[in-house]
């Protein structure tokens, strides 16, 4: 509930930060970069290289524009991260995994990495619980969002804020 009330402020703020990031990248990075192989797999590749697509756009590409309700999804990550190069992350969905009613997919998004998509997972009734773990890179302190798709076609989301002291990705 707390998170929901924060959301408008956070997203408005982050839009301007993203724009700033986009502008900085655009200035530093040669024009060819975004058109390279990195952009080829971006789900929501919007046009050329200037502005990266927004977090909302990346999530919409996964949901196909369907409404996303907050709840059911829990993102577990250390709240304070020393080294952004390898950060354990797990996502679990509080939902049964029965053949007729289960989680079919989970997608993880980052608010402020160079690319919003982190990973997406396909699940099914062979999985007794809807829980996935991996290790990720974080470019900076930011919000992580996970969205789950259920077999009834509904989408649910959860998010968490992470503070990163040593960043990954942009510098080596």
Partner 1 sequence: MSARTLIDMPRRVRRGEAFEIRAMIGHPMETGYRRGADGDRLPRDILTEFGCVFDGEPVFSAKLYPAISANPFLSFSMTADRSGELVFRWRGDRGFSHTERVNLVVE
Q: Which is nearer to partner 1, 5 or 36 (CB)?
A: 36
Q: Which is nearer to partner 1, 73 or 123 (CB)?
A: 123
Q: Which structure tokens are listed for 149?
A: 């798709």
Whether 114 and 139 have beta carbons less than 8 Å apart is answered as yes
Q: Which is nearer to partner 1, 86 or 165 (CB)?
A: 86
> What is the contact surface with partner 1 in residues (CB under 8 A)?
29-30, 33, 36-38, 41, 85-87, 90, 110, 113-115, 117-124, 126-129, 131-138, 169-172
Q: Minimum Å distance from CB 136 to partner 1?
A: 5
Whether 17 and 111 have beta carbons less than 8 Å apart is answered as no
Q: Minimum Å distance from CB 10 to partner 1?
A: 20
H-only helix segments in 33-166: 37-40, 55-63
φ/ψ bin of 99: left (φ > 0), alpha (ψ from -120 to 50), beta (otherwise): alpha
Q: Minimum Å distance from CB 2 to partner 1?
A: 26
């Amino acid at each position: 509930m707390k998170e929901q009330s924060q959301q408008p402020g956070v997203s408005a703020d982050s839009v301007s930060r993203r724009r700033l990031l986009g502008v900085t990248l655009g200035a530093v990075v040669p024009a060819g970069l975004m058109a390279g192989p990195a952009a080829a797999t971006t789900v929501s590749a919007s046009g050329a290289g200037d502005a990266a697509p927004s977090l909302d756009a990346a999530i919409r590409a996964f949901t196909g524009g369907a409404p996303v309700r907050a709840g059911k999804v829990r993102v577990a990550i250390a709240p304070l991260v020393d080294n952004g190069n390898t950060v354990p992350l797990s996502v679990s969905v509080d939902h049964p995994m029965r053949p007729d009613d289960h989680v079919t997919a989970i997608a993880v998004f980052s608010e402020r990495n160079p690319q919003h998509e982190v990973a997406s997972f396909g699940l099914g009734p062979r999985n007794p619980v809807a829980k996935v773990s991996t290790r990720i890179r974080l470019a900076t302190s930011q919000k992580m969002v996970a969205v789950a798709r259920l077999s009834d076609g509904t989408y649910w989301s959860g998010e968490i804020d992470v503070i990163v002291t040593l960043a990954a990705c942009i510098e080596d």
